[in-house]
Structure 1
Amino acid sequence: MCYRCSTTNSLLRQTGNACTSCRQPLEFSFVSFEPLPVVEFVLEEGISDEEAVRLIQMEPPQKKSSGPVITDEGTTQTLVLSGPSDDQLDDENDPFTSTNTEMFL
């Protein structure tokens, strides 16, 4: 399948490794041999190539995680456990993600 125009391409095609409809070159995964969704972007004016590479490799800022909240109201104590929101999820500490990424290294 072409991720640019959503055309389903046959395995054998006369255009080689390109889409039969829009002629977009197809890049294949070495693991699954499926076409990869390659993203092309253009730098804004004033950003050099070196600065773009630095920005791509830069670590995102750390998010402050929220812990459990205990409230004591007279005769009632309440413990509220709230998990991290989607933007606070940490893939480094996730055992499922770390196991799967180790397989492909």
Structure 2
Amino acid sequence: MQVRLVPNLQLGERIIGPTPDPEANRALYQRYAKRLQARLGIGFQVYLDMSDGYDLLHARDYDTDTCWVVAAAVYQALTDSAVITHHRIISLSDQALILKATQPIEQQLRQSPTDQ
């Protein structure tokens, strides 16, 4: 399964993320991605999304091979219900990101989509 971490979402001129600085958000998520990949191991491929959410907004609907992990602020900004309903999206709290707490995300990723 592919796990794509989305640190920022660009809506028009506005960038939404855990901090106002997109580069800082990417650095935080890069650090988290390395930890998550090490914890998940074989069977999961963790990537950092550098598209500022473009890839998520234009992803193939009902893709069961990809899970999107987004910042809490990004999740709240996803008002397009089609994006939320057509993709497997997990919200990552700012606290879990800073503390590199991967256990809640690991548990959700290891569940099959039908178990949720």
TM-score (norm 2): 0.18
Higher fraction of helix:
2
TM-score (norm 1): 0.20
Higher fraction of strand:
2
Q: Rg: which structure is higher? A: 1
Give the structure, 1 or 2, with the largest relative contact order (CA under 8 Å, sep 6 or more).
Answer: 2
